[in-house]
Structure 1
C-alpha cells in the first residue's frame, strides 16, 4: 500500500488551485486522483458502489450522458445512452450505436458520485470509477439533456455506508515492456496464419510468452509494417478530409471505449491532436507516440488492418481500424493505410 495522504492538506491544496484539473492536481501532490476525490467526501463527493451490475442500469436511467475513457496519452468521449449492457464476471459490454464499451470488472474498485460547482452557479454531475491504484478507469458526465430528476435517487441507491475521506490505494502495476522471442518468430508467423478473428491474437501471443508489441517487432511482412510516428496525424487528417469511416479504440486496464464512424473536424493544438465532432471527441498526445505499426490480422470478413500507436515504454495508446461491416469503407481504409509513410529503416529486433 502507498502512504495515505492527509485529507485536510488535500482540501487546502484544492482551495489554492481551484481551476486546476483533478488529474493535474493529484499529479502535483503526488497522490492518486481517487484520493483527491475521497478527501472531498461530504463536500460534493459521495462514495458509491463500483459494481457494474448496479451502476449500468442506474446510468441507463440518466438518459443522454457523456462517456469518457482515457489513458496517459489519449482521451475518448462519446455522447449517448447506456443501453445494451451485458455483464459478466471477467468482461462486460455496453453496445449500442453511440456508447460502445468493453469493461473488465476486477479493475472497477472505487466509485464516486461528484457534484462540482461551475462558475455560472450550476453543477457538473458525474460518476467516476477508479482502479485499485486510484487511477481513473471510466467517467460518466451528465449533460443538459440528461434526466436530472434521476440523479439524487441514483446517488442514494449506489451510496456506500463507508463515507470516509481517506482512501488507501495499491502500487501501480509495473509497465510491461515489449516481450519477444526471436527463436519463436517462425512459430509466431505460423500461428498468425491460423487466426480467423482479431480476438484470437492476444491469446496466441500469450501462449508464445510474448505480448502485442513484442510480436509486432519480430513478425515482419506481411503481418506488420513499421510506420513513421507522424503517420497517425496523417491518417486522421486524411480520414477527416475523405470521410472514410474508422474505428478508434482507446482504453486502460479496466475499460476500452470505441468510436465507429467518420471524423469531421481535426484540430491540432500544441502537442494534442483533437477530434471535435458532435457526440465524439478524441484528444491524443502526438508527442507521446514512439512507435506506430500497421498490423494485418485475418478474419472471416476479410483482413482487419489496424494502425496502432505505442508510447516510449511500449504501452498501447490507441488503435484505429477500418469498418469491416462496410466492405466499401474497409477497402477505402485499407488503401489509405497502405499509403502511409513507412520507416525507412526498421528498428533492430
Structure 2
C-alpha cells in the first residue's frame, strides 16, 4: 500500500520528493479541525487555561516556518544526501507486507536515538528546545518546531535505514506517519488509554510526561509511536503528579526569532567564552545542564530558573 501511494504521488510530483512534507501538508486541514474540536470541548467544560492565544500563534508561526525550511532543505541538500547514501546502500530491502513492520520498528529505534540525543546533546537540544518551551499543552503544541533542525543535522539519524537499503521515500513516509501520530498525543483532552495500548504505544499521558519540567519527568518518554524503547532502556515514566509544562530555564518570549535562536546563541556564546579550548568545545556535545568549571552560563534573553527541576534539568 505504501509503495502504491508513493508511485501515485511520484507520478504527480516526481521522484525526488520529501514525502514527509507532502503528507504533513496534506494532513494540515485535519490538524486544524482536531484543534477546533479540542478547543470547543475545553470551552464547554470551562477548561480553557491550556489555550493561551499568544502561545498558540507562536506555535503556528514556528510550525509554518519549520515546514518551509524543511522543504527548502530537501531541495537544496538533504534530498541529494539521502539519494547518494541509497546509491551506496549495503542491500536492497523490498517494502512489502512482510517487511513493513520490521522496517517501522527499525525506524522507531532511529527516532528514539534522535529524540534522546536532542535532549542529552546540547548541539541538538538547541534545535529541539523550541518544542519544549511552551507552557501549555494542546494540539497546536505539536506544531512548535524549529527551523534549525536541518542546520544542526537532525536528518542524520534517519540515514542508517537508507544505508541498509530502505528507500529514502519510505523512510520519509514513515517519519511523516510518526509525526502525524504524535500530533494527537499533544493534548490534555485524553486521559489514559487501555493498559495494553499504554504498554506498547506512545499516548497523550506518556507525552504529557515528556513535556514536563517536574524533576521526575525530565528526559523521559522519548518514543514516537512506540513506547517500547523507553521501557527497554529505562527512560519511561508514568504520569502521576500534575505536569508542569515548559523548560527548567524558561525563556520569556513569544518572539519568533528568539524562540528559534535563543539556545543556539547561548551555546555559541558559551563556546566562545574564555577558557581552555577543549573545555569550551565540550559545550557542543555535553548535556544541556552541563556547566564548565569556572564559567557562568550565558543567557542573551530573559530566562526564569525553576527550582523544582534545578538539580537534574536541561536549560
Question: Could you state the TM-score of these two structures normalised by the residue count of structure 1?
Answer: 0.29
Question: Which structure dedicates a bigger proportion of its chain to strand?
Answer: 1
Question: Could you state the TM-score of these two structures normalised by the residue count of structure 2?
Answer: 0.31
Question: Which structure dedicates a bigger proportion of its chain to helix?
Answer: 2
| Higher-RCO chain (CA-CA 8 Å, sequence separation at least 6) | 2
